[in-house]
Amino acid sequence: MSRWGLFWACGVLLAACDSAPESVGDAIDEPIGLVGKADGLASASALEIDAVLTLANTADLGALDDDVALDVRAAEHIVAHRNGPDTVLGTHDDNPIIDIAELDAIPWVGPRAFGKMLDWVREHAPNDAAPCMLISEYIEGTLDKNKGIELYNCGDTPVDLAEISVCLVRNDDTDCTLSTQLDAGSLAAGAVYTVCRTRTGQLNNPWPPLAAGCAQELGSTMIYSGDDRMVILHDPEQTGTLTEATVLDALGRITFRPTWSPWNNIGLRRCTAERNLGVAFFDHTDWFTTVPWSQTDDWGVAPTFACDP
């Protein structure tokens, strides 16, 4: 039976297919850690594991089944798990896969499925070489042009800015609505780079200190509001997609649109060096200190991570 025939036979009742024979996949409860060889869990770095979890939480069924080449049962159960009872990604009942243990508990996901996802992220996003970049400041002010984001090089080596893109996930979208690659240049370790919607306007739109401290205009990619998600990508191939690039940091849970506008008309300053990959529940007060949007004395200044222990 073809994979489409199998999918049709199963419909939405995935459990009905749990006993279907399949020679190339994992056993229904086979643990991911069972295979400890070079291409398995034992060889995966923390960044690669994060990338596998991001892939599991964002890729659609076709991508997991065709591109990643998972056993169709594993792909279906991953999608069903993370999408929740309503089967729709980006809604209130989503159940994101937050760690390897949760991924391992999904039926038909074992060492072979993990190995295929690991191979895919290694091919499409060399995570061992991915830079460390954080959203260190966020400005979402009144009027439409008061938009700005500060990026911080949290690594020990310079970052090639041309390999970094800023991704806007608007409204109910689950991938980049728009994205923009940064201009060519090098950002030193511990330094910041500021981007904004525009440096020109009228009166206080944009706010003069914001415009004066902006290193690069990103235009439409910066037309966000208080429920949109902003994502920083390592994207040397300039794909502009979450599944083809590496998520370095995010403001918000990428595939989930809040039911209100929690970061509307405020300024946010990063107070922890921990990265947010946009997979799990997100409360901006766990990651940022809130200030008035027009308070720009720290704009263009490296963060001090005041809420870290």
Q: How sure is the predictor about 194, in pLDDT bands with cuts at 50, 70 and 90?
A: very high
Provide mean pLDDT across the span 1-27. 42
Q: Are residues 59 and 157 in the same domain?
A: no
Which residues span the domain enclosing 147? 131-291
Q: Are residues 192 and 140 in the same domain?
A: yes
- 305, part of any domain: no
- 309, part of any domain: no
Q: Are residues 166 and 113 in the same domain?
A: no
Answer yes or no: is pLDDT of 39 > 80: no
Provide mean pLDDT across the span 220-238. 95
Answer yes or no: is pLDDT of 214 > 70: yes
Answer yes or no: is pLDDT of 79 > 80: yes
Please check whether residue 291 is in contact with residue 263, taking contact to mean a CB–CB distance below 8 angstroms. Answer: no
- Residue-level length of the chain: 309
Could you tell me the two tokens for 279?
A: 């997979």
Q: What is the pLDDT of residue 128?
A: 52
**Number of structural domains, the chain?**
2
- 301, part of any domain: no
Q: What is the pLDDT of residue 124?
A: 65
Q: What is the pLDDT of residue 138?
A: 98
- 238, part of any domain: yes
Q: What is the pLDDT of residue 287?
A: 94
Largest CA distance in the chain: 68
Q: Are residues 144 and 119 in the same domain?
A: no
Q: Are residues 142 and 117 in the same domain?
A: no
SS (H, E, C) the chain: CCHHHHHHHHCCCHHHHCCCCCCCCCCCCCCHHHCCCCCCHHHCCHHHHHHHHHHHHHCCHHHHHHHCCCCHHHHHHHHHHHHCCCCCCCCCCCCCCCCHHHHHCCCCCCHHHHHHHHHHHHHHCCHHHCCCEEEEEEEECCCCCCEEEEEEECCCCCEEHHHEEEEEECCCCCCCCEEEECCCCEECCCCEEEEECCCCCECCECCHHHHHCCCEECHHHHCCCCCCEEEEEECCCCCCCCCCCEEEEEECCCCCCCCCCCCCCEEEEECCCCCCCCCCCCCHHHCEEEECCCCCCCCCCCCCCCCCC
Q: Are residues 72 and 153 in the same domain?
A: no
**Of the residues 73, 93, 127, the one at which a domain ends:** 127
Could you tell me the two tokens for 113?
A: 């499925």
Please check whether residue 165 is in contact with residue 238, taking contact to mean a CB–CB distance below 8 angstroms. Answer: yes
Answer yes or no: is pLDDT of 20 > 60: no
Question: At 160, which CATH number?
Answer: 2.60.40.1260
Average pLDDT, the chain: 86
Q: What is the pLDDT of residue 273?
A: 93
- 302, part of any domain: no
Residue 228, Cβ density class (10 Å: 0-12 exposed, 13-18 middle, ≥19 buried): buried
- 306, part of any domain: no
- 303, part of any domain: no
Q: How sure is the predictor about 34, in pLDDT bands with cuts at 50, 70 and 90?
A: low
Q: Are residues 281 and 143 in the same domain?
A: yes
Q: Which residue has the tokens 């090639």?
A: 160
- 296, part of any domain: no
| pLDDT tens for each residue of 150-191 | 999 999 999 999 999 999 999 999 899 999 999 999 999 999
**Of the residues 72, 100, 127, the one at which a domain ends:** 127
Please check whether residue 173 is in contact with residue 189, taking contact to mean a CB–CB distance below 8 angstroms. Answer: no
Provide mean pLDDT across the span 183-207. 96
Answer yes or no: is pLDDT of 286 > 50: yes
Q: What is the pLDDT of residue 24?
A: 64
Q: Are residues 96 and 186 in the same domain?
A: no
Q: Are residues 110 and 143 in the same domain?
A: no
Q: Are residues 21 and 107 in the same domain?
A: yes
For residues 308 and 273, what is the distance between their CA atoms, to the nearest angstrom? 7
Q: Are residues 98 and 144 in the same domain?
A: no
- For 66, phi then psi, to 5°, come to -90, -55
Q: Are residues 39 and 147 in the same domain?
A: no
Q: How sure is the predictor about 36, in pLDDT bands with cuts at 50, 70 and 90?
A: very low
Q: What is the pLDDT of residue 13?
A: 35
| pLDDT tens for each residue of 90-143 | 788 889 998 899 999 999 999 999 999 988 887 765 455 689 999 999 999 999
Q: How sure is the predictor about 219, in pLDDT bands with cuts at 50, 70 and 90?
A: very high
